Structure 1
């Protein structure tokens, strides 16, 4: 089996995965010993310094990735959540406390911003390594006075959003369907790697491209009760050429395409 990442098989790491409520079985094909050499290996998931970290094997990509919602750029953004473009796109004209499915949660930063704005968020992340980083960061945020009220509004689902949304539709329960579905598919790779943030280069090594993003958009429009919001590079086309958004909210380098339903 060709693997792009491994999880260091250590008792503390396994215990942390269980503590976070993640299925240990999701890591079965990735457990390995530190120092293993494989041709396609790009990164290592490990328990270090009291947190789960994703460490690139490329020394040019710098420090390991760990999720910290309370400091740095994310810490600044969540304290002014109502001014964020994503919150304006998800809210529309509604003043209600909406329910949101973040269908491509990744490291959960957008989920945290939405929860800081008062929304209940289900964060779907199907890639086990990324789901572990997200769940670990969220759990540590619960220990903070400022972060706990926000973190409690987020539920991590380590599954594909296809499964979640399909099940909600099949159940036929109108109340269970989300008001809004948010998609942030992996942007197309730029021609100059230097232009891509180091963190995103590690992320791409592990996750790859979202080749099923168009199908997910179609499903999201059927599942959402109010709207679907898609994050796109500012100068790119719509996610689906045949499906134009109702309107857009423009930022400096990205935009939000909004599809009312």
Structure 2
């Protein structure tokens, strides 16, 4: 049973009392906002629609996140996406050739992403890149325990990617539906500053932090380099250069 695999409580009559409910339908897993019935349920599907199309277009050097992680000739770093959310940037990196480990602490968001990754892998043959490059970790965070659990430490990632939720300053009408869901469900990551030190200690070569263009540096720490995009920037904290051969 899906609820048992994801270690989530199974609700019956009391379901309508919860503001957010995960539902397994014929089309897949969806998150319903019960107090906002006009909002369409949030789904995550990398096999079809706009999300699948972006993956087909992406994965190249033109993607800001790909450039920030530092993919190059014979360099395909392993990446711990430590604030995975809906996993879109992590999927871009995997499509580009990285082994990506997804870590997400909110159980509802983790369930959506876990289901979408399994669905994507099952839609392709066993030899497809998704079976080798996409790794869903148990729900958790770099900040939950010290020392870090063995299943996180053992990854020894070349790079760590951080995209913590930032307090939204725009009016809700200007925010995409999935971000409205995440803001209401998860809220801002008020402990985000603590992530950087842990990530720098764990990553072998670099940490990349996605931030809104006008946001301050994470933990007030100036990055080694930056890659800009239209609404965001990618702050790069380099510990040492990637080796010339593949990592």
CA distance, structure 1, for counterparts of residue 50 and residue 2 of structure 2: 26
Q: Give every structure 1 segment of 4 or more consecutive aligned residues whose post-TM-superposition deviation is greater than 6 Å.
A: none
Per the TM alignment, residue 163 of structure 1 is displaced from its structure 2 partner at its CA by 4.9
Q: Give 1:53's match in structure 2, choosing from 30, 40, 47.
A: 30
Q: Which residue does 2:141 correspond to in 1?
A: 160
**Please, which runs of 5 or more residues in structure 2 have no aligned partner?**
240-247
CA distance, structure 1, for counterparts of residue 145 and residue 55 of structure 2: 26
Counting only pairs closer than 5 Å after superposition, residues 233-252 of structure 1 correspond to structure 2 as: 233-241=212-220, 243-252=221-230
**Aligned: 1:185 with 2:164:** yes
Q: Which residue does 2:75 correspond to in 1?
A: 96
Q: Which residue does 1:213 correspond to in 2?
A: 192
CA 1:181 to 1:172, structure 2 compared with 1: closer, same or farther past 3 Å?
closer
Relative to the length of structure 1, the TM-score reads 0.80
Q: Which residue does 2:243 correspond to in 1?
A: none
- Cα RMSD for the two superposed structures: 2.6
**Please, which runs of 5 or more residues in structure 1 have no aligned partner?**
1-14
Q: Which residue does 1:16 correspond to in 2?
A: 2
8 Å contact kept, 1:103–1:182? yes
Q: Which residue does 1:73 correspond to in 2?
A: 50
Relative to the length of structure 2, the TM-score reads 0.84
8 Å contact kept, 1:100–1:120? yes
Bigger relative CO (Cα 8 Å, ≥ 6 apart): 2
CA distance, structure 2, for counterparts of residue 84 and residue 181 of structure 1: 17
**Aligned: 1:139 with 2:125:** no
CA deviation map 1:180-213 (0-9, x unaligned): 0000000211242212112211112221221111
Aligned residues: 234
